[in-house]
Amino acid sequence: MDEWTGLVAALRTGGWIMYPLSLLGVLALTIIFERAYVFARFARAPAALLEPDTSDTPDMPAQTADGVERLATQHAFRRMAAAWRPDATTPLWLREASAQAIAARIERDMSRGLWLLETIVTAAPLLGLLGTIVGMMQSFKLFGGDGLVDPAGVTGGVAQALVATAVGLIVAVFALFAFNYFSRRLERLMDELELFANARLNALRARDETSGA
Protein backbone atom coordinates (compact mmCIF):
# COMPACT_ATOMS: atom_id res chain seq x y z
CA MET A 1 0.00 0.00 0.00
CA ASP A 2 2.83 2.36 0.83
CA GLU A 3 4.40 1.64 -2.55
CA TRP A 4 1.20 2.64 -4.39
CA THR A 5 0.89 5.78 -2.27
CA GLY A 6 4.46 6.71 -3.07
CA LEU A 7 3.88 6.06 -6.78
CA VAL A 8 0.78 8.24 -6.87
CA ALA A 9 2.61 10.99 -5.00
CA ALA A 10 5.51 10.81 -7.45
CA LEU A 11 3.15 11.05 -10.41
CA ARG A 12 1.44 14.07 -8.88
CA THR A 13 4.85 15.69 -8.56
CA GLY A 14 5.18 15.60 -12.33
CA GLY A 15 2.56 18.33 -12.72
CA TRP A 16 0.11 18.87 -15.57
CA ILE A 17 2.35 17.16 -18.12
CA MET A 18 1.45 13.85 -16.47
CA TYR A 19 -2.07 14.01 -17.93
CA PRO A 20 -1.04 13.74 -21.60
CA LEU A 21 1.68 11.26 -20.65
CA SER A 22 -0.89 9.12 -18.81
CA LEU A 23 -3.17 9.30 -21.85
CA LEU A 24 -0.34 8.07 -24.08
CA GLY A 25 0.38 5.27 -21.62
CA VAL A 26 -3.25 4.15 -21.60
CA LEU A 27 -3.40 4.28 -25.41
CA ALA A 28 -0.20 2.25 -25.68
CA LEU A 29 -1.49 -0.43 -23.29
CA THR A 30 -4.83 -0.59 -25.11
CA ILE A 31 -3.14 -1.09 -28.48
CA ILE A 32 -0.72 -3.66 -27.06
CA PHE A 33 -3.45 -5.82 -25.51
CA GLU A 34 -5.74 -5.48 -28.54
CA ARG A 35 -3.01 -6.38 -31.05
CA ALA A 36 -1.79 -9.23 -28.87
CA TYR A 37 -5.29 -10.71 -28.93
CA VAL A 38 -5.66 -10.20 -32.68
CA PHE A 39 -2.34 -11.86 -33.50
CA ALA A 40 -3.01 -14.75 -31.13
CA ARG A 41 -6.55 -15.28 -32.43
CA PHE A 42 -6.24 -14.61 -36.16
CA ALA A 43 -2.58 -15.03 -37.15
CA ARG A 44 -1.37 -18.31 -35.66
CA ALA A 45 -1.18 -20.92 -38.41
CA PRO A 46 -1.36 -24.68 -37.85
CA ALA A 47 1.83 -26.33 -39.06
CA ALA A 48 -0.09 -28.54 -41.52
CA LEU A 49 -1.14 -25.50 -43.56
CA LEU A 50 2.47 -24.62 -44.36
CA GLU A 51 3.48 -28.10 -45.51
CA PRO A 52 3.97 -28.66 -49.27
CA ASP A 53 1.00 -30.15 -51.06
CA THR A 54 1.74 -33.59 -52.51
CA SER A 55 -1.83 -34.64 -53.35
CA ASP A 56 -3.43 -34.88 -56.76
CA THR A 57 -6.64 -33.04 -55.87
CA PRO A 58 -7.56 -30.08 -58.09
CA ASP A 59 -7.60 -27.44 -55.38
CA MET A 60 -6.66 -27.65 -51.72
CA PRO A 61 -6.23 -31.17 -50.32
CA ALA A 62 -8.93 -32.35 -47.94
CA GLN A 63 -6.64 -32.28 -44.90
CA THR A 64 -5.63 -28.67 -45.55
CA ALA A 65 -9.20 -27.62 -46.34
CA ASP A 66 -10.44 -29.16 -43.10
CA GLY A 67 -7.73 -27.34 -41.17
CA VAL A 68 -8.73 -24.04 -42.75
CA GLU A 69 -12.42 -24.59 -42.02
CA ARG A 70 -11.66 -25.05 -38.33
CA LEU A 71 -10.08 -21.58 -38.16
CA ALA A 72 -12.02 -18.44 -37.22
CA THR A 73 -13.81 -16.65 -40.05
CA GLN A 74 -11.48 -13.65 -39.90
CA HIS A 75 -8.34 -15.76 -39.53
CA ALA A 76 -5.63 -14.69 -41.97
CA PHE A 77 -5.13 -18.17 -43.42
CA ARG A 78 -8.84 -18.79 -43.89
CA ARG A 79 -9.13 -15.48 -45.74
CA MET A 80 -6.14 -16.38 -47.92
CA ALA A 81 -7.62 -19.82 -48.66
CA ALA A 82 -10.56 -18.12 -50.39
CA ALA A 83 -8.34 -17.36 -53.39
CA TRP A 84 -7.78 -21.06 -54.01
CA ARG A 85 -11.38 -22.28 -53.74
CA PRO A 86 -12.85 -21.24 -57.12
CA ASP A 87 -13.71 -23.92 -59.65
CA ALA A 88 -11.06 -25.49 -61.80
CA THR A 89 -11.84 -23.20 -64.74
CA THR A 90 -10.51 -20.12 -62.93
CA PRO A 91 -7.14 -19.19 -64.51
CA LEU A 92 -4.00 -19.15 -62.37
CA TRP A 93 -3.31 -15.46 -63.01
CA LEU A 94 -6.72 -14.56 -61.59
CA ARG A 95 -6.09 -16.66 -58.49
CA GLU A 96 -2.68 -15.03 -58.02
CA ALA A 97 -4.21 -11.54 -58.33
CA SER A 98 -6.93 -12.43 -55.85
CA ALA A 99 -4.35 -13.80 -53.39
CA GLN A 100 -2.27 -10.63 -53.66
CA ALA A 101 -5.31 -8.44 -52.99
CA ILE A 102 -6.29 -10.55 -49.99
CA ALA A 103 -2.71 -10.39 -48.64
CA ALA A 104 -2.74 -6.58 -48.92
CA ARG A 105 -6.01 -6.38 -46.98
CA ILE A 106 -4.70 -8.78 -44.31
CA GLU A 107 -1.53 -6.71 -43.88
CA ARG A 108 -3.61 -3.54 -43.55
CA ASP A 109 -5.94 -5.09 -40.97
CA MET A 110 -3.19 -6.70 -38.90
CA SER A 111 -1.14 -3.49 -38.76
CA ARG A 112 -4.08 -1.39 -37.55
CA GLY A 113 -3.03 0.82 -34.64
CA LEU A 114 0.71 0.25 -35.06
CA TRP A 115 1.14 3.74 -36.51
CA LEU A 116 -0.23 5.16 -33.27
CA LEU A 117 2.14 2.99 -31.26
CA GLU A 118 5.01 4.29 -33.35
CA THR A 119 3.84 7.86 -32.74
CA ILE A 120 3.79 7.26 -28.97
CA VAL A 121 7.41 6.09 -29.15
CA THR A 122 8.36 9.55 -30.40
CA ALA A 123 5.80 11.70 -28.58
CA ALA A 124 6.26 10.34 -25.03
CA PRO A 125 9.94 11.36 -24.62
CA LEU A 126 9.20 14.76 -26.15
CA LEU A 127 6.41 15.36 -23.63
CA GLY A 128 8.74 14.21 -20.88
CA LEU A 129 11.31 16.71 -22.12
CA LEU A 130 8.66 19.42 -22.11
CA GLY A 131 7.86 18.54 -18.49
CA THR A 132 11.57 18.76 -17.69
CA ILE A 133 11.80 22.25 -19.18
CA VAL A 134 8.67 23.43 -17.34
CA GLY A 135 9.96 22.06 -14.02
CA MET A 136 13.35 23.68 -14.43
CA MET A 137 11.77 26.99 -15.39
CA GLN A 138 9.72 26.93 -12.20
CA SER A 139 12.87 26.24 -10.20
CA PHE A 140 14.79 29.11 -11.79
CA LYS A 141 11.94 31.53 -11.04
CA LEU A 142 12.53 30.97 -7.33
CA PHE A 143 16.04 32.39 -7.50
CA GLY A 144 15.95 36.02 -6.44
CA GLY A 145 18.52 38.71 -6.75
CA ASP A 146 19.84 37.97 -3.27
CA GLY A 147 20.18 34.25 -3.81
CA LEU A 148 18.01 31.27 -3.09
CA VAL A 149 14.54 32.22 -1.86
CA ASP A 150 12.60 28.93 -1.54
CA PRO A 151 14.73 25.77 -1.37
CA ALA A 152 11.66 23.52 -1.08
CA GLY A 153 10.15 25.06 -4.21
CA VAL A 154 13.38 24.57 -6.14
CA THR A 155 13.62 20.89 -5.23
CA GLY A 156 9.97 20.48 -6.12
CA GLY A 157 10.60 21.87 -9.60
CA VAL A 158 13.59 19.60 -10.07
CA ALA A 159 11.50 16.62 -8.93
CA GLN A 160 8.80 17.55 -11.42
CA ALA A 161 11.40 17.66 -14.17
CA LEU A 162 12.84 14.26 -13.25
CA VAL A 163 9.45 12.54 -12.91
CA ALA A 164 8.21 13.82 -16.26
CA THR A 165 11.37 12.64 -17.99
CA ALA A 166 11.26 9.21 -16.35
CA VAL A 167 7.59 8.60 -17.15
CA GLY A 168 8.03 9.72 -20.75
CA LEU A 169 10.95 7.33 -21.22
CA ILE A 170 9.09 4.43 -19.58
CA VAL A 171 6.08 4.87 -21.86
CA ALA A 172 8.31 5.18 -24.92
CA VAL A 173 10.35 2.07 -24.05
CA PHE A 174 7.25 -0.11 -23.59
CA ALA A 175 5.73 1.21 -26.81
CA LEU A 176 8.99 0.66 -28.69
CA PHE A 177 9.34 -2.97 -27.62
CA ALA A 178 5.70 -3.64 -28.48
CA PHE A 179 5.95 -1.92 -31.87
CA ASN A 180 9.06 -3.87 -32.83
CA TYR A 181 7.49 -7.15 -31.71
CA PHE A 182 4.26 -6.64 -33.64
CA SER A 183 6.13 -5.41 -36.71
CA ARG A 184 8.29 -8.55 -36.69
CA ARG A 185 5.23 -10.72 -36.06
CA LEU A 186 3.48 -9.12 -39.04
CA GLU A 187 6.48 -9.79 -41.27
CA ARG A 188 6.50 -13.44 -40.21
CA LEU A 189 2.77 -13.72 -40.87
CA MET A 190 3.15 -12.33 -44.38
CA ASP A 191 5.99 -14.77 -45.05
CA GLU A 192 3.83 -17.67 -43.86
CA LEU A 193 0.93 -16.52 -46.04
CA GLU A 194 3.28 -16.38 -49.01
CA LEU A 195 4.43 -19.94 -48.32
CA PHE A 196 0.81 -21.06 -48.05
CA ALA A 197 -0.15 -19.38 -51.32
CA ASN A 198 2.93 -20.68 -53.15
CA ALA A 199 2.18 -24.23 -52.02
CA ARG A 200 -1.34 -24.01 -53.45
CA LEU A 201 -0.09 -22.32 -56.64
CA ASN A 202 2.61 -24.93 -57.22
CA ALA A 203 0.04 -27.71 -56.75
CA LEU A 204 -2.23 -26.17 -59.37
CA ARG A 205 0.65 -25.69 -61.81
CA ALA A 206 1.70 -29.31 -61.32
CA ARG A 207 -1.88 -30.40 -61.96
CA ASP A 208 -2.08 -28.39 -65.17
CA GLU A 209 1.24 -29.75 -66.41
CA THR A 210 0.13 -33.30 -65.61
CA SER A 211 -3.23 -32.91 -67.31
CA GLY A 212 -1.68 -31.30 -70.37
CA ALA A 213 1.00 -33.96 -70.77
Taking only the tens place, the pLDDT of each residue in 122-159 is 999 999 888 888 777 766 665 555 555 555 555 555 66
Whether 96 is in a domain gets the answer: yes
Count structural domains, the chain: 1
Question: Other CB atoms closer than 10 Å to residue 73's CB: what's the count?
Answer: 7
Whether 41 is in a domain gets the answer: yes
- pLDDT attached to residue 124: 93
Mean pLDDT to the nearest integer, 187-200: 89
Mean pLDDT to the nearest integer, 48-67: 55
Whether 145 is in a domain gets the answer: yes
- pLDDT attached to residue 115: 94
**Which has the minimum average pLDDT: 44-53, 69-78, 172-181?**
44-53
Q: How many Å apart are CA 5 and CA 8, to the nearest integer?
A: 5
Whether 122 is in a domain gets the answer: yes
Q: How many Å apart are CA 187 and CA 63, to the nearest integer?
A: 26
Q: How many Å apart are CA 73 and CA 84, to the nearest integer?
A: 16
51 torsion bin: left (phi>0), alpha (psi -120 to 50), beta (else): beta
b or e along 75-104 (b: 16 or more beta carbons within 10 Å of the residue's beta carbon)?
A: bbbbbbbebbeeeeeeeeeebeebbeebbe
Whether 67 is in a domain gets the answer: yes
Whether 150 is in a domain gets the answer: yes
Whether 187 is in a domain gets the answer: yes
Whether 171 is in a domain gets the answer: yes
CB 103 within 8 A of CB 80: yes
Residue 92, domain extent: 2-47+57-212
Q: What is the mean pLDDT of the chain?
A: 78
